[in-house]
Amino acid sequence: EAQVTQNPRYLITVTGKKLTVTCSQNMNHEYMSWYRQDPGLGLRQIYYSMNVEVTDKGDVPEGYKVSRKEKRNFPLILESPSPNQTSLYFCASSLSPPPTVGEAFFGQGTRLTVV
């Protein structure tokens, strides 16, 4: 089954404690991205990756890091989480980057709370 898998689904952490949210896709997609979803703001892109070892900033990259060492994995790293990073996070992948027509597949989401 084609899917994007995020872990964990839920996470409560304390300010300043480094954390990693993993994302893996089994569709051999080149393009992967991370979004955060906040009420009234929709989905905002954090980082994206066009392929292995190729990453770039999205609209809200501050406080986040990513890496793309393998095609299937695209972890999101919060080195020193702060309460304003409390949000619902989604990883997505697609065969090629927009605007090429093609569906972006989203993971189930990770609800992060930073206290």
Partner 1 sequence: QQQVKQSPQSLIVQKGGISIINCAYENTAFDYFPWYQQFPGKGPALLIAIRPDVSEKKEGRFTISFNKSAKQFSLHIMDSQPGDSATYFCAASGTASKLTFGTGTRLQVTL
Exactly one of 50, 52, 77, 95 binds partner 1 (CB under 8 A); which one? 50
User: In the chain, at which residue ranges do the beta strands (DSSP E only) sit?
Assistant: 4-7, 10-13, 19-25, 31-38, 42-51, 54-57, 65-66, 76-78, 87-94, 105-106, 110-114
60-65: long-range contacts (C-beta < 8 A, 24 or more apart)? 60/36, 64/34
User: How far from each other are the two terminal CA atoms of the chain, in whole angstroms?
Assistant: 36
DSSP state of 29: -
Shortest Å, Cβ 25 to partner 1: 12
Site string for partner 1, 59-88 (x = CB under 8 A): x-----------------------------
Positions in 29-48 near partner 1 (CB under 8 A): 31, 33, 35, 40-45, 48
3-state secondary structure of 39: coil
Shortest Å, Cβ 33 to partner 1: 7
Exactly one of 24, 90, 93, 112 binds partner 1 (CB under 8 A); which one? 90
Binding site for partner 1 (CB under 8 A): 4, 31, 33, 35, 40-45, 48, 50, 58-59, 90, 92, 97-101, 103-104, 106-109
